Amino acid sequence: MSSERGQFSSRFGFISAATGSAVGLGNIWGFPTQTASHGGGAFVLVYLILAFLLAYPALMAELIIGRHTRHNMVGALPQLTQRPALQVIGRATGLYGVLIASLILSFYAIVAAWLMAQVPAAVANIGGQQPAASWFTQSSLLRDSLFCVLFLALTAAIVARGVKDGIERWSSRLMPALLLLILGLTAVVLTLPGAMEGLRLYLVPDFSLIAHPSLLTSAMGQAFFSLSLGVGTMLVYGSYMSKTDNLPLTGAYVALIDSGIAFLAGLLIIPAMFVAHQQGIEIYSADNTLIAGPDLILKTLPTLFNSLGLSGALIGLVFFLLLSIAALTSSISMLEVPVTYALEQFTISRSRATWLIASGIFAISLLILFNFDELFGSVINITTKYSQPLLGAMLCLFAGWALHRDKLLSEISAGYSAAEQGLFWKIWPSYIRFVCPVLVIIIFVQNVRT
Ligand code: PHE
């Protein structure tokens, strides 16, 4: 074993890092597009309810396991029990989580590469360099591999600096910048013609859609992905938290900020789609549903920005910068999962472990890029649709059943002395034992069947 464990220096530092992890492409891209394809306001309402009734308790399970054991995903779970069979299951679950975190990063880096390439494209556009702009805009193996390596190198450079000087420092800088950019951009987009139509779709729920089965499963899956649950990210960040932090409150801030930014991103993206519609840009696909997926962000919105002249190009520049920042503060948390495992398992320096693992992940990204049609969609499905909910359920079961009630209470009481009298302690332990795993298993079964 090597190296002493890092620790966040303050609650603000933890909240920046954890919300940095949570707020990513899942919020700024996934949430608005899912909302658009699931009846607008109806999805928003169900999502918000599930984020607090289901994802927040699961987030607490991860944070508590992490802070209690002060270990990585693989080392943590076996420590919660004396039973050898459960220890083996815990270790296997941990290893699976590390693998899934690494695979998520391998496809996330590709999507981030597409988005990052739009930043120099916008600069070239503003400078009147059309050939350069179109090279950056159009996907090619060379462009995608170059930006993928650049994105992973930025991620590794931050992670290699450690918890306080790398992750905490950069998240604390980038998260406020992200918030300002979203607020500014939303204010601008909402003044453009057509925006109000989008706003109506976004905010007025169509209650006839609330009972639709795919709405519920999509909203739950989205809540798990968005809070970075299941793969040990929040567990590892929890292991760097100070014992004096009030866990239920700090976790609630993270869930609130994450949902708040997803909500804000919807206020930006959906009205922007309707502004595009006003400009004659197609926003419905062949089956009459709103365009979602890569085409929305990489075709519809850039076409809109271009049609607005110089100010549009500037809006585009800020928009893609914002997406790149959001992706970066999430990718560092993904890379931290295998890196902490390597640090606590082998004798290796942080910087060496980080660069080695990042290179391995780049190799997987290249494999995906070169076999895009066969691999890209499958890796996303296997990791986010199947593995994240299943792993989330396992972590809830471990926190609820393997971690002794007294230890749970003393962990929560460490930074919150009145814990025993609080509502959280009255509800949460049985919630995590029964309600969360059962609901997650229902999503899992539904996902497999559909
Ligand atoms: N929460 C991140 C997002 O919304 C994605 C993520 C998943 C991050 C799993 C870490 C671990 O984009």
Domains of the chain: 11-449 (1.20.1740)
Cα(216)–Cα(209) distance, integer angstroms: 10
26 lines ligand 1 (CB under 6 A): yes
Q: How many angstroms separate the Cα of 288 from the Cα of each of 110, 209, 292?
A: 28, 16, 12
Q: What's the CA-to-centroid distance between 231 and ligand 1, angstroms?
A: 9
The residue among 13, 54, 430, 424 whose CA lies nearest residue 245 is 13
Q: Which atom of ligand 1 is nearest to the CA of 227?
A: 1
pLDDT of residue 1: 43
Question: From atom 7 of ligand 1, which residue's Cα is the shortest distance away?
Answer: 228
Question: From atom 5 of ligand 1, which residue's Cα is the shortest distance away?
Answer: 228
**365-422 pLDDT, tens digit each:** 999 999 999 999 999 989 988 898 889 999 999 999 999 888 889 999 998 988 888 8
Among 105, 110, 333, say which to mutate for ligand 1: greatest number of ligand atoms within 8 Å of CB: 333
pLDDT of residue 4: 66
Locus of tokens 């075709």: 299
pLDDT of residue 2: 43
The residue among 273, 278, 306, 223 whose CA lies nearest residue 53 is 223
Q: Which atom of ligand 1 is nearest to the CA of 334?
A: 10
Question: From atom 11 of ligand 1, which residue's Cα is the shortest distance away?
Answer: 228
Largest CA distance in the chain: 67
Q: What's the whole-number average pLDDT of the chain?
A: 91
| Long-range residue pairs from 348-354, CB within 8 A, at least 24 positions apart, any chain | 348/2, 349/2, 349/3, 350/3, 350/159, 350/160, 350/162, 351/160, 354/156, 354/159, 354/160
pLDDT of residue 294: 77
330 lines ligand 1 (CB under 6 A): yes
Is 442 in a helix, a strand, or coil?
helix
Q: What's the CA-to-centroid distance between 132 and ligand 1, angstroms?
A: 32
Q: Which atom of ligand 1 is nearest to the CA of 330?
A: 8
Q: Which residues of the chain have pLDDT under 70?
A: 1-4, 447-450
Locus of tokens 């002249």: 309
228 lines ligand 1 (CB under 6 A): yes
Cα(260)–Cα(23) distance, integer angstroms: 10
Question: From atom 8 of ligand 1, which residue's Cα is the shortest distance away?
Answer: 228
387 lines ligand 1 (CB under 6 A): no
Is the CB of residue 234 less than 8 Å from the CB of residue 148? no
In the chain, the percentage of residues whose pLDDT exceeds 90 is 64
**311-339 pLDDT, tens digit each:** 888 888 988 998 999 999 999 999 999 99
46 lines ligand 1 (CB under 6 A): no
Cα(21)–Cα(30) distance, integer angstroms: 15
233 lines ligand 1 (CB under 6 A): yes
Cα(50)–Cα(328) distance, integer angstroms: 26
Is the CB of residue 428 less than 8 Å from the CB of residue 396? no
Cross-strand partners of 284: 290
Q: What's the CA-to-centroid distance between 226 and ligand 1, angstroms?
A: 5
pLDDT of residue 450: 63
pLDDT of residue 166: 92
Q: What's the CA-to-centroid distance between 127 and ligand 1, angstroms?
A: 34
Quickly list H helices, 279-349. 293-295, 301-307, 309-345
Among 73, 155, 330, 383, say which to mutate for ligand 1: greatest number of ligand atoms within 8 Å of CB: 330
Is 40 in a helix, a strand, or coil?
strand
Cα(180)–Cα(325) distance, integer angstroms: 12
